[in-house]
Structure 1
Amino acid sequence: MRYNVIMMLVAAACAGCGSPSTGPSTVSVQGTVTLDGKPVEGADVYFISGQFSSSAKTDAAGVYDLVGGAIPGPNTVYISKLSIPAGAMAGIDGAIDEGQMMAMAGDPALARSKSGPKQLLPPRYSDPGKTELKVSVPDAGGEAIDFGLESK
């Protein structure tokens, strides 16, 4: 009996193995993020369309390459860079994921706190609900989509 249960679980787990992806068609997207003309290292870049979202982290030169690409056509983009002071996470059990850090950064009480995470980019770029960044991803992809952000 136990053997049959294990075999059913293995079969269920492998049911989708080897089958083609049924997700939306995406294209490669990369580019550079600068703030006041200087590369932004360690920023998270998010592309969001009606059916798909993708993200990437910028390197020391401000270059990003979206994991999984993006859907061709209109996309909303937001770019976030958090500064987390040493000791800011003291007393919190377990790992903190990016969504939790974003929630903490948007929490007014933590924003006033000297020890909480701080958003280093203006809300017009970093707040998903206020972002001014809208792009049209080309059907063939491959073209650099650069973001020249301004602090003022």
Structure 2
Amino acid sequence: MQIFNPLVCSVAILILASIGCGSSTTYDVVAASGTVMLDNKPIEGVSLTLIPQAGIKGRGGYATSASDGTFTLQSAPEVMGVVPGNYMVLFRKYAMPDGSPVPPGTSAADADLINQLPEIYSHPEKSPIYATIPATGPEGLSFELSSRPGKR
């Protein structure tokens, strides 16, 4: 019976473990920004999440709206823009249980935060909102939410 050299085994394990590590797949992204409104008014602090639909590569995108309702999408903390294609868009606006703004550094799990937007906008099986990001980048996305969806 032959005994393997521990150094050779260790090197082999490190090589096998490192295959794929540090080689992140990148995709071409385009700049995408826009505005989110609630009842015809700009809304601040809305978290937007783009969920890729069939055939879209990459992770999707996310953004948070500013005080004037504007947002700029990104794919990762260091990647501004998103992969062109079709996405479902989810929206959330968190607040403390008493309705006050969320203090910086507060964890959603620790603070029992509430979503101030109707559930339909944050539910991946119910969201009625989709967006298409063209390869040339959109002119400017515009999302109009209602505090009473389905009501006119």
Cα distance, 1:142 vs. partner?
4.1
Letter in 1 for 2:86: P
Higher relative contact order (CA 8 A, sep 6+): 1
Q: Mapping of 1:1-152 within 5 angstroms?
A: 22-50=25-53, 51=57, 52-68=59-75, 69-85=81-97, 96=107, 101=108, 116-152=112-148
Structure 2, unpaired ranges of 5+: 1-13, 76-80
Cα distance, 1:139 vs. partner?
1.2
Runs of 4+, deviation exceeding 2 Å:
none
Question: What is the alpha-carbon distance in structure 2 between the residues aligned to residue 95 and residue 62 of structure 1?
Answer: 22
Cα distance, 1:95 vs. partner?
6.4
Deviations 1:55-97 (A, max 9, x none): 11110001000123222121111011011147x9xxxxx962x
Identity %: 32
Q: Which has the higher helix share?
A: 1
Letter in 1 for 2:113: P
Structure ID, larger Rg: 2
Contact 1:32/1:147 (<8 A) preserved? yes
Structure 1, unpaired ranges of 5+: 1-7, 89-93, 105-114
Contact 1:47/1:70 (<8 A) preserved? no
User: Between Structure 1 and Structure 2, how many residues are aligned?
Assistant: 115
Range with bigger deviation, 35-44 or 119-128: 119-128
Question: What is the alpha-carbon distance in structure 2 between the residues aligned to residue 95 and residue 37 of structure 1?
Answer: 29
Letter in 2 for 1:36: D
